[in-house]
Structure 1
């Protein structure tokens, strides 16, 4: 008989630590957006992360294969969309609110799987989606309870779709490629794509300020560690289990935001709780009880 351990594995502990760091970044980025544009900030952040990862993994890059380039490019595009939209949203909404709306990506994972892979969500996933959507209504700002989202809320909701795609892509490629080489590719793709899109979006390079430079460089290092950790851990942690762990992100974001002075109204706090509940419920699965054989007369 196998002994069951209630303690999380090393990989799960690593992902839990990732969520703690993630939760603390919302407030930092919100402050940095007062001194730099979203594409520039994301570009500097991920180019810094990519260069650091390249130096850290330079001995492993010689074996780079086409599948790893494709995997890294696809994940990099999803990172660019997710962080770019999230950073854009943080120009106008507080970090606590952004954290909870971003958490919508968890119940969105089964929806994306349905659209891409043709696997319909199970009953609990639908219930989780409804709970999270109700929570989103409560978090929609001054017009809480309506569909009149502002640009910040809409961008952050689209960010959640991109993050759901990133989680599925990492889960798809994690066991088939070298996580270190893919991490380098995805970080550089996300950073360079952000900088290349700047002229198209009409965004200018900001004046130098330590208010955006220190967060961008520091979070670049953090992004490298986080992406290496995710790619390593999800080789043994399923996408479903990983998304349950990531559900702690908005809670940490709310805690940090509260400490920093964010004061969400009561209805918004209820909305955040509904989203977290939806995240957890969407990952519940119940097995059918085995049929009991009755003795034949």
Structure 2
């Protein structure tokens, strides 16, 4: 049986979410040794060097419009990492994770706003269901939403990640996917290192654990993952991509249980089940919310 391109795109996005979920455990020790933005900057610059070498011939043919598009995507990506990391200094990790995950539900609404095309109630309902699942996984039992500086930065992070997904969807069908990927990674690395040099102490000697985490996150969680995301978004919608990439949360919990021995709670089990149910809602009943043949067209810019 021939597998459709849209199904391959879904599988790629799920695999990307798995890689990103595992990256939480990979960097757990690393960011305790060197400043967070220094690690992020070095990670993205390592990725840029590798991808730049692989796609050097394509980069030589890069147009001004492709450079600008990659910079826009990279700016949103860098803002997301900056806001998330700085926000963590002023709020709890659980609340930060909850607020950052707002991008899952922000994407379909921004899609409707930017493209003036209602995406349908079913994907919105699925995004809400996934959002509730992430909420149950991330929030502690007695958390109350009070918006301080860290909370507002985490919300900014969610909007930045949502805009990055939409920017990819906007440009990936017009320009070379490999050029866009390299440029956004370079921009993110430069902005992150620039912030680190300005506001963080510089670490001159990196231990082996940091190098291992950097190699994994640089090659798998950045090089492969962003190439796969950009390729997959050629064949699926931005709201659908956001939903599948939201599986990063349950995957991170799974690897935390396996590697770090975290004890599963009823809340985390229910939350993961809700996210899985949201995926089924989109995959099993697509004809209820989109006519046949339209699934891969809702990110086309006019």
Global fold match (TM > 0.5):
yes
Larger radius of gyration: 1
The secondary structure found in structure 2 opposite 1:33 is: helix
Equivalent residue for 1:29? Answer: 27
Q: Cα deviations across residues 217-255 of structure 1 (Å, max 9, x unaligned)?
A: 331112112122222232223324433432432222111
**Residue 129 of structure 1 contacts residue 282 of structure 1 at CA under 8 Å; is this kept in 2?**
no
Equivalent residue for 2:195? Answer: 197
For residues 288 and 6 of structure 1, what CA distance do their matches in structure 2 show?
A: 17
- CA shift at 1:277, angstroms? 4.8
- CA shift at 1:32, angstroms? 1.8
Matches within 5 A, 1:86-105: 86-88=84-86, 93=93, 102-105=100-103
Tell me the C-alpha RMSD between the 2 structures.
3.5
For residues 41 and 126 of structure 2, what CA distance do their matches in structure 1 show?
A: 34
For residues 280 and 149 of structure 1, what CA distance do their matches in structure 2 show?
A: 33
Equivalent residue for 1:258? Answer: 257
For residues 216 and 253 of structure 2, what CA distance do their matches in structure 1 show?
A: 21
Give the 3 Å change call, closer, same or farther, for CA 99–125 of structure 1 in structure 2: same
- CA shift at 1:274, angstroms? 4.4
The secondary structure found in structure 1 opposite 2:29 is: helix
Q: Could you list the runs of 5+ residues in structure 2 that have no partner in the other structure? A: 292-302
For residues 66 and 234 of structure 2, what CA distance do their matches in structure 1 show?
A: 15
Equivalent residue for 1:15? Answer: 13
Q: Which of the residues 120, 123, 127 maps onto 2:121? A: 123
Q: Could you list the runs of 5+ residues in structure 1 that have no partner in the other structure? A: 290-297
Equivalent residue for 2:227? Answer: 228
For residues 62 and 134 of structure 1, what CA distance do their matches in structure 2 show?
A: 45
- CA shift at 1:21, angstroms? 1.0
TM-score of the pair, normalised by structure 2: 0.77
**Residue 98 of structure 1 contacts residue 153 of structure 1 at CA under 8 Å; is this kept in 2?**
yes
- CA shift at 1:73, angstroms? 0.4
- CA shift at 1:46, angstroms? 0.5
Give the 3 Å change call, closer, same or farther, for CA 41–153 of structure 1 in structure 2: farther
- CA shift at 1:69, angstroms? 0.7
- CA shift at 1:215, angstroms? 1.1
Which 10-residue stretch deviates more, 28-37 or 68-77?
28-37
Q: Report the count of equivalent residues.
A: 283
- CA shift at 1:56, angstroms? 0.6
TM-score of the pair, normalised by structure 1: 0.78
